Amino acid sequence: MNPKLIVLLLLPPLLGALFLTRFFQQSRMPLKTLFTVLASTATGYALISFGLFLCYVLQPHYARLLTAVLPWFLVLGLLIRLAGTQTTPQACSLKQTLRQCFFGGWNSPQQILHSILSWFLIALLIYTLINSAETLAGYMTWNAFGGWDARYFWVLKARFLFRDPEQWRLMFSEWIASWGNHDYPLMVPGVMAWGWNFMGRESLLWPMIISGVFMFSLGGLMVWYLAAWRSWPAALAAALFFFTLPAYQFWAGTLYNDIPYAFFSNGALLLLITALRQKEMRLFALAGFFAGCAAWTKNEGIIFLGWFGLLAGVSLIHERRISHKTVWPALGAIAGGMVIPLLICLYFKLALVGRETHLIKKSTPAEFWAALTNWPRNQVIVQGFRMYMADYKNWHGLWFLFAAAVVYWPVTRKVSPRPYSGLIILAIVLIHLGYAFVFTQTPNNIYKHIETALMRLLLHTSALAVVFIFETFGMLRPNASISSPPS
């Protein structure tokens, strides 16, 4: 194996882990160690992408050198910062919950069954992960250049960044803008270019690794959340269900950016729920950072930022248990977390791209209203959602289970309250409404647009739906309250 590749594989998780550790040092977030382990690589990629973009904007002449040394400086800086600070213990530790899950005791049949189920699920999950990794690797090696969007939009941007850092702005050339979606943000192309800069060549393996990392990190995110707030059996069963979904396996193999986007947007929402339950400013800030990362990954992230802000604002303002003194600092923490990603996005969109996106045409208010109230077309959009969500081959009945969980949710709320879990339903509904709105205004052929985009758009919310299903129907921790993890 290429020794440079080993460094490429190790540096982002190291950087991400140090960044998250610094964030969590004063936090009591449940299973923060697990979150750090599972999300460190993807978080490291985000930091590297922001760093690369700043180097290219500020010092394109030295960009190659700067992007190579910057992560090392960040690692060093974080190590120095971490050295002098004390760590606050987490609300429930990984070791403690694992012991409770797998060796929960033999006092009652429920405890015994709980442990047996956990062992059974972990064995199956390991088998599923191996199968999933093998399927993905097989698909990727035979389709090394990825799907259409990957080849002609995402990887093309990375080539501009890698081949001539001084001329990288040529990617905004009007001739490429006519077909190349020049306004797509640069999270993943930036990570690709960073790896290629480091290796000195356009390695085909590197984009595959990035795609695989985001796919497994997304699964990891739901394991963390459900293990922290529900139980290990629920987390393991959710991961088992998720990793057998053909939709995710297929689209991870195409090297599209929908799964990286799903990682950041879903992570933002799950961190927001955790922050609201824990009432911790640091977690609000991290949720804001993840939401900003989502906007730097795909254009859909801009819409998500609006929904995220709305959900955070409404939750905080209507939260009676939080005093008004806490509401504004929490909103400030969210804004603080997203400020750097958002400024980068704004600079990219306004100063560099500067042209309208072709997904929504410029129209007069009358044209806009006519498009919005075009009922035959709206019917096609609704039918499209219905058809793609009901696609059993891709989703294994996920959306039916989600509907059942939504119906059952009010019952479980009474028995075992799960504060803020309703945000997941709201987020899914709002995100889908946003996409439906874009479809109403699209200048493209509606059938073609739905056919090429809708299945991928569902990837953005399906992992959240899995989380909600297992938070509703999942096993409870033996003798544990749901809203507060054991200390």
Q: Is residue 145 involved in binding another protein (CB under 8 A)?
A: yes
Q: Residue 73: in which H helix or E strand, if any?
A: helix 63-83
Taking CB under 8 A as the rule, does residue 264 contact another protein?
no
The secondary structure of residue 171, as a DSSP letter, is: G
Contacts of 305 by beta carbon, 8 Å cutoff, 6+ apart: 291, 292, 294, 295, 338, 342
Q: Of 158-166, 287-295, 374-382, 421-429, which part binds another protein (CB under 8 A)?
A: 158-166
**Are the C-beta atoms of 308 and 272 separated by less than 8 Å?**
yes
Nearer of residues 38 and 193 to another protein, judged by Cβ? 193
**Per CB under 8 A, does 404 bind another protein?**
no
Q: How far is the CB of 360 from another protein (least distance, A)?
A: 22
**CA 273 and chain centroid, separation:** 15
Q: Does 425 bind another protein (CB under 8 A)?
A: no
Least distance CB 301 / another protein (angstroms): 25
Is 6 a binding residue for another protein by CB under 8 A? The answer is no
**Would you give the end-to-end CA distance of the chain in angstroms?**
44
CA 304 – CA 345 distance, rounded (Å)? 13
Helices 63-83 and 32-58 pack at an angle, to 10 degrees, of: 140
Q: Hey, CA dihedral for 60, 64, 67, 69, is it positive or negative?
A: negative
| Using rule CB under 8 A, residue 339 touches another protein | no
| Residue 29 vs 237, nearer CB to another protein | 237
Does position 72 interact with another protein (CB under 8 A)? The reply is no
Pick from 83, 95, 142, 376 the residue near another protein by CB under 8 A. 142
CB atoms within 10 A of CB 322: 16
| Binding residue for another protein, selected from 9, 98, 124, 403, defined by CB under 8 A | 124
Q: Measured between alpha carbons, how far is 208 from 210 in angstroms, rounded to an integer?
A: 5
Task: Measure the CA–CA gap between 257 and 293, rounded to whole angstroms.
Answer: 12
Distance of CA 331 to the CA centre of its chain: 21
Q: In this chain, which of 19, 168, 194, 388 binds another protein, going by CB under 8 A?
A: 168
Cβ proximity to another protein: between 5 and 425 the closer is 5
Of 21, 36, 49, 128, the residue at the interface with another protein (CB under 8 A) is 128
Residues 6+ apart with CB under 8 A from 366: none
Of 87, 141, 479, 483, which one interacts with another protein (CB under 8 A)?
141
**3-class SS shares of the chain: helix, strand, coil, % to 5:** 80, 0, 20
In the complex with another protein, the residue whose CB is nearer, 75 or 199, is 199
Q: How far is the CB of 444 from another protein (least distance, A)?
A: 13
Nearest to 251 by CA among 150, 180, 159: 150
Q: Is 400 in the site for another protein (CB under 8 A)?
A: no
Residues that bind another protein (CB under 8 A): 1-2, 4-5, 110, 113, 117, 120-121, 124, 127-128, 131, 134-135, 137-142, 144-145, 151-152, 155-156, 159-160, 163-164, 167-168, 170-171, 173, 175-176, 178-180, 199, 201, 203-205, 208, 233-234, 237, 240-241, 243-244, 396, 415, 473-476
